[in-house]
Structure 1
Amino acid sequence: MNLPNKLTILRVIMIPFFVLTLLYDGGENQTLRYVAAAIFIIASLTDMLDGKIARKYNLVTNFGKFMDPLADKLLVCSALICLVELKELPAWMVIVIISREFIISGFRLVASDNGVVIAASYWGKFKTTFQMIAVVLLIVGIPALSMVTTAVVWIALVLTVISLVDYITKNVNVLKEGKM
């Protein structure tokens, strides 16, 4: 159990605290929304940190390869679902985002079965960055930033679709029988 794996586990443990803090009192308590945003930011930073440490110090493990992306998806999907509950985000947008995650996970699973590793693309990294910024902006809900928040949400959605198309076009051979 190395440091990157401990950070991944910490991120998973933070999710229920984030959800409870955000949804407590129907999201009406602004102080708790700031606390929830802080928890989300800290959890998101552990995502960046665990990967950098694992690569820099050659601490990449099978556990980390499995749990890190799962922890990321759990964190972001939990936040998005909470934001639908709080009526801060339309459900159809969240369905698009979560669908993309399932599709890419499926691609990676099939590729892995064939000994192929599908690395994260720059589009995927941009998508993740904008999704996380959008989540924080939606959680804190500062009225003066409403236009910025809306723009960031739409950019995150567009990047979600672009990154999906990018993954599919670059890795279409994963779906072709016997063509690796």
Structure 2
Amino acid sequence: MNLANKITLVRIFLVPVVMLFLLVKYDLGRVQLGNEVITVSEIIAALIFILAAVTDGLDGYIARKKKLVTNLGKFLDPLADKLLISAALISLVEMQRLDAWIAIVIISREFAVTGLRLVAAAEGHVIAASAMGKLKTIVQIIAIVALMLNNFPFSSISLPFSRIFVWLAVIVTVWSGVDYFIKNKTVIRFSKSR
């Protein structure tokens, strides 16, 4: 197994660690800013999530730079991304920091685009990540981290930063999903005709 795939596996193994720090009530202390309080375990979860998110770009860069692109990597990389984002969203719903319908919309888009990619692959086509898809990932990561930190430190200045980025994530997620289907409608038409 090459270095890029090992980094992707690390991202997958970090998913339960993030959930552990978010959902299990550890008494590791609290940080207070004004009236807002955030637990140390939530800060640790956010830092691990950021580390895992950064490995997404790193494994792809290494795979392309060192010509280590493999079929295993093509399978594991998007799987790791979807596991990380979905687990974080579901954890935030459990923590009552995110409405369930928002998590459902975002996760549904991920399943739909993955399904499209599978249909395309069966027809011998590869659907590469688009610029809109990459923007979607960045916005989702920012929104998730802001929610994990309970809008800390922006709540001290009454800026609903996490809420703004959640709505932005929903809009960009849906938009990028529609964009994938529009740009790849020939794949769908071709598979229907067979």
TM category, shorter: over 0.9
Matching residue of 2:23: 23
1:56 aligns with 2:65: yes
Match of 1:82 among 91, 94, 99: 91
What count of residue pairs does the alignment treat as equivalent? 180
Cα displacement (A) at 1:177: 3.6
Moved over 3 A (4+): 26-29, 177-180
Q: Which has the larger radius of gyration?
A: 2
Q: Describe the shift of the 1:86–1:146 C-alpha distance in structure 2 as closer, same or farther (beyond 3 A).
A: farther
Return the TM-score normalized by structure 1: 0.95
Instruction: Identify, as 1 or 2, the structure richer in helix.
Output: 1
Matching residue of 2:35: none
1:15–1:75 contact (8 Å) kept in structure 2: yes
Which consecutive residues of structure 2, in runs of 5 or more, have no partner in the other structure?
31-37
Distance in 2 of aligned mates of 1:25 and 1:146? 27
Matching residue of 1:121: 130
1:26–1:86 contact (8 Å) kept in structure 2: no
Matching residue of 1:112: 121
Which consecutive residues of structure 1, in runs of 5 or more, have no partner in the other structure?
none
Matching residue of 2:10: 10
Q: Deviations over 1:77-118 (max 9, x none)?
A: 000000000000000001100110010000000000001001
Distance in 2 of aligned mates of 1:50 and 1:154? 29
Cα displacement (A) at 1:60: 0.3
Distance in 2 of aligned mates of 1:118 and 1:26? 42
Q: Describe the shift of the 1:164–1:114 C-alpha distance in structure 2 as closer, same or farther (beyond 3 A).
A: same
Distance in 1 of aligned mates of 2:159 and 2:86? 22
Return the TM-score normalized by structure 2: 0.88
Cα displacement (A) at 1:25: 1.6
Q: Percent identity?
A: 50
